[in-house]
Amino acid sequence: MIDFVSLCEHTMLVGAALFTLGMFGFMVRRNLIVMFLCVEMMLQGVSLTWVGAGAYHNQWDGQVMVILIIAVAACEAGLGLALVMMLYQRQGSLDIVAWQRTREEGRPAFVDHDIPEPVAADDISWPVLTPAGVAPEINQEERLHRSHV
């Protein structure tokens, strides 16, 4: 028989670690989408802690809270990703620093100092596919009817 209380405590430790990692990522990363993922990770850590605490006290409330958290996370993801899309369309970049002109008046602008040089491994080379087989016959009538395809 496993020591259930210890299991709850260790699970809560994992939850705390997830929350902390999410916070760290939110502070350190600059990609809007990754920052958003980090917030989701913080929520996940809280959920794990709720389940652990609920099992610890032998109550259902923890799991009920997790269900509510999942619903709120779904709302947040929908709204947040719509916002991210809009920000990307305005700025053409997912970099959070691109939005620094919304900063407080009088604050100095942030300037990147040590931009890493592109390394050879970063040049993505797409595979070249050799054409094979017979080219399919194109139905002209269908093309006329479905010009938007």
Partner 1 sequence: MTGHLLWGALDGSLWRQRVTALFSAGMDQPFVWSVLGTMLLIIGLWALQPGARRGGRIWGILACFAGLACCVRLLVPLTGPLPVVLTFRLTAALTLMAAVTTVVTKNPVYSAIWFALTLIGTSILMLLLGGQFVAVATVAVYAGAIVVTFLFVLMLAQSSGRAPYDRLTWGRIPAWWGAPAAALLFVMLCSGMYQESAARRQVDLRPDGTHDPAMYTSSGGTISAPGTVAERFPPHHVAKLGGTLFTRYLIPVQVVATLLLAALVGAVAIASYGPTVGGREQPL
Nearer to partner 1, 122 or 137 (CB): 122
Rounded to the nearest angstrom, the gap between the alpha carbon of residue 115 and the centroid of all alpha carbons in its chain is 24
Between residues 118 and 133, which has the closer beta carbon with respect to partner 1?
118
33 neighbors 93 (Cβ within 8 angstroms) = no
Q: Give the residue with the Cβ less far from partner 1, 42 or 146.
A: 42
Minimal distance in Å, beta carbon 24 to partner 1? 4
Distance of closest approach, residue 144 Cβ to partner 1, in angstroms: 29
> Min. distance of Cβ 104 from partner 1 in angstroms?
14
DSSP state at residue 105:
T
Cβ 38 vs Cβ 19: under 8 Å: no
Neighbouring CB atoms inside 10 A of 12's CB total 19
Using the minimum distance from each CB to partner 1, give the nearer residue, 79 or 143.
79
Residues in contact with 65: Cβ distance below 8 Å, sequence separation at least 6, in sequence order: 47, 50, 54
CA distances from 141 to 63, 136, 137 (A): 58, 15, 12
